Chains A and B, each alone.
Chain A
Amino acid sequence: MRVSRSPLLVDRLPVWRARLVLGVLLAGSLALVGRSFYLQGIHKDFLIGKGESRYERVIEMPATRGRILDRNGDVLAISTPVKSVWAIPEDARLTPAQTRQLATLIDLDAREVTRKLAAERDFVYLKRQIAPDVATRIANLKLPGIHFQNEYRRYYPAGEVAAHMLGFTGAEDAGQEGIELALNGQLAGKSGSRRVIKDRRGQIVEDVESIHAPQEGKDTLLALDAKLQYLAYAQLKQAIAEHKAKAGGIVVLDARSGEVLALANLPTYNPNNRSKLSGAQLRNRAFTDTFEPGSTFKPFTVALALDKGQVRFDTPIQTAPGKLTIGTATIHDAHPHGVLSVAQVIQKSSNVGVSKLALNMSYEDMWTMFDSLGFGQPLKLGFPGEASGRLRPWKRWRQIEQATMSYGHGISVTLIQLARAYQVFARNGDLVPLSLARVDAPPAVGMRVFSEQTAREMRAMLEMAVQPGGTAPKAQVAGYRVAGKTGTAVKLEGGAYTNKYVSAFVGFAPVSDPRLIVAVMVDEPSVGGYYGGEVAAPVFSSVMGSALRALGVPPDDTPRPLQVANIVPPKEEM
């Protein structure tokens, strides 16, 4: 049968049907063209975005927190990547054997792990900050629902030795104490991100753009000398154990540059393991605790008297009978002396002698001197909780207060303030600002407080104080001429004096050209005396001696025990 004879074709179809079909097809294809023009021409961003999201990825670029280095480049704090193990409890269906394996690896009790995995939450940390190799071993177990997160952990190799100075960072890597807080701005890094194209194997094949460039934290070079820091810490610790003291602090300053070379406090803590911390351990006493400086203050009063031309170093002062009554109060000397020269007043540490000098001064002059030495105001080094100490305005002073302040009572200071103020004697009567960071170009001259002449005379007097007949012969250092002053202050508690003491010693060496200032404070020594000359001076002596030798400072003194080798040039054999 031929097609043309097919019965279907016998009837001729109306023309409009063909037209209709053609019209519908045309409209359909027009709609398609129009739509594709709309999608690719006008509304193209949407599809481009969708397409890119299939292969583009935004990658986090973590930035590391800067290292803290000591002045010689030894590492004091460093961040290194660690992993935190977390789990989605619903997915983590572990067999008891797997749980035990996991528990052993993350050093937790198996029951503890089971308890954590039973939690009704979407996310639990199993263990934070574990070493990367342990994480790899856990990952090799291929446990379901167990995941890892990259984090940084900060390590402090020096441990408790430099804990207060360095401080530590919190969980989010932000400084919380000490240098970590004071210099957080430069240490902290800022993580960045960038957009890349990845292929199906997850390899980056194209760098599209950098959204934020990461900012690496800057390494910070401190003024601190790790060796001196250890010496200071070890000696202080020994003294505190020996005298069964409550607490203590020590500061070592570079007299020329004002750098803080060492600063230690006790009790202390291990910054690498801060699970059990008490407030007492955390206290950076050298900065936050104020105490009455006692006799360590006398040199300032005497220096002012010399500077104003009121007395000379050899002017005689009557200190008999060892007490002085002002109004209703009486000032006593520990041992009564007769007539003393001004130099001997320092050497013997006579309260009466210093008070008599002070009573001839105006309140304002004395206040101005204390103020320009930096007392009563924080040093503003950026340490948290830095105390300013107490220096009352001179307009409200009374005579008895002027007298007691002249020997360091009725005024309170921090150890670091006291150490800094001794710069006026160790230097030539001027003060330079303290620095936590290494100073490569120390200021030649600081702010002048006393004349050079006064500073020189004070150095001689302070040297007498550590010699036989002075209050602190135990502060001597073999081979070096040292100078310094003891202080023993009765502690104030709730406005009343107690029978607890703070013993202190501040001094510097070598006297011929002072390099280091060391200030030692021991709080409530209970065994083996409480005088500054008994408790604090020996610490000063051993720290100063080892520090000077460690720094290679040439000896400027040759006392008895020290042998001096005579170098005889070897004769040439004929």
Chain B
Amino acid sequence: MARVNLILLIAVLLSALAAVSSNHRARKLVTEFEREQERMRALEVEWGQLQLEQSTWAAHARVEQIARDKLGMRPPRANQIIAIQP
């Protein structure tokens, strides 16, 4: 009788410890998950800012101005256009 009780006691103790440790692991994983999500949000913000930056640099008005003023480009005149017939 006493032996059965002892075994049961040990089993209960082990299971309790296991519960504690798994709960702890779960919390650690949640924290890690949240950190990753935070990182995702930060990356999304950065991606948005990069898109904004890209479209600002690539704005047609800016491209045209640089093409005209810095590179001295201009649209071809009608007689400079050669159409290639398929």
**Residues of A bordering B, CB below 8 Å:** 64, 67, 74-76, 78-81, 132, 155, 157-159, 161, 199, 203-207, 226-227, 230-231, 234, 478-479, 546, 554-555, 558, 561-567
The B contact surface, by secondary structure, is helix
The minimal Cβ–Cβ distance linking A149 to chain B, given in whole angstroms, is 16
Q: CB-nearest residue of chain B relative to A75?
A: B55
CB<8 Å pairs between A and B, sample of 11: A67-B51, A78-B55, A157-B59, A159-B61, A161-B61, A206-B26, A207-B30, A226-B60, A478-B81, A555-B83, A564-B85
Most buried by B among A67, A132, A204, A567: A204
Most buried by A among B28, B31, B78, B86: B78
Asked whether, in the complex, the Cβ of B64 is within 8 Å of the Cβ of A234, the reply is: yes
Asked whether, in the complex, the Cβ of B82 is within 8 Å of the Cβ of A563, the reply is: yes
Query: What total of A-B pairs shows CB separation below 8 Å?
Result: 87
Complex interface: chain A residues within 8 A of B56 (CB): 157
Asked whether, in the complex, the Cβ of B52 is within 8 Å of the Cβ of A562, the reply is: no
> Which of A74, A80, A562, A566 is in CB contact (< 8 Å) with B45?
A80
* Known contacts A74-B55, A78-B51; A562/B78 CB under 8 A: yes
Complex interface: chain A residues within 8 A of B48 (CB): 64, 78-80
Asked whether, in the complex, the Cβ of B60 is within 8 Å of the Cβ of A203, the reply is: no
Judge whether B27 is part of the interface by a CB distance below 8 angstroms: yes
Judge whether B72 is part of the interface by a CB distance below 8 angstroms: no
In the assembly, what is the distance between CA of A132 and CA of B46, in Å? Answer: 11
Complex interface: chain A residues within 8 A of B45 (CB): 80-81, 132
The number of residues on chain B lying at the interface, defined by a beta carbon within 8 Å of a beta carbon of chain A, is 29
The minimal Cβ–Cβ distance linking B79 to chain A, given in whole angstroms, is 4
The minimal Cβ–Cβ distance linking B28 to chain A, given in whole angstroms, is 8
The minimal Cβ–Cβ distance linking B66 to chain A, given in whole angstroms, is 14
In the assembly, what is the distance between CA of A301 and CA of B61, in Å? Answer: 40
**Residues of B bordering A, CB below 8 Å:** 26-28, 30-31, 34, 45, 48-49, 51-52, 54-56, 58-61, 64, 75, 77-79, 81-86
In the assembly, what is the distance between CA of A155 and CA of B84, in Å? Answer: 41
In the assembly, what is the distance between CA of A563 and CA of B86, in Å? Answer: 14
Asked whether, in the complex, the Cβ of A562 is within 8 Å of the Cβ of B60, the reply is: no
> Which of B34, B51, B75, B81 is in CB contact (< 8 Å) with A563?
B81
Complex interface: chain B residues within 8 A of A206 (CB): 26-27, 30
Complex interface: chain B residues within 8 A of A562 (CB): 78-79, 81-83
Complex interface: chain B residues within 8 A of A563 (CB): 79, 81-83
Asked whether, in the complex, the Cβ of A204 is within 8 Å of the Cβ of B61, the reply is: no
Asked whether, in the complex, the Cβ of B30 is within 8 Å of the Cβ of A567, the reply is: no
Complex interface: chain B residues within 8 A of A554 (CB): 86
Asked whether, in the complex, the Cβ of B81 is within 8 Å of the Cβ of A479, the reply is: yes
* Known contacts A203-B34, A234-B61; A564/B51 CB under 8 A: no
In the assembly, what is the distance between CA of A155 and CA of B59, in Å? Answer: 13
Asked whether, in the complex, the Cβ of B52 is within 8 Å of the Cβ of A204, the reply is: no
Q: CB-nearest residue of chain A relative to B37?
A: A204
Asked whether, in the complex, the Cβ of B52 is within 8 Å of the Cβ of A158, the reply is: no
The minimal Cβ–Cβ distance linking A129 to chain B, given in whole angstroms, is 14
Which are the 5 A-B pairs with shortest beta-carbon distances? A230-B60, A157-B55, A478-B78, A205-B27, A561-B78
Complex interface: chain A residues within 8 A of B54 (CB): 75
Q: CB-nearest residue of chain A relative to B29?
A: A205
Asked whether, in the complex, the Cβ of B78 is within 8 Å of the Cβ of A155, the reply is: no
Q: CB-nearest residue of chain B relative to A555?
A: B83
In the assembly, what is the distance between CA of A563 and CA of B83, in Å? Answer: 6
The minimal Cβ–Cβ distance linking A242 to chain B, given in whole angstroms, is 17
* Known contacts A206-B30, A227-B60, A234-B64; A567/B55 CB under 8 A: no
In the assembly, what is the distance between CA of A561 and CA of B83, in Å? Answer: 11
Q: CB-nearest residue of chain A relative to B86?
A: A554
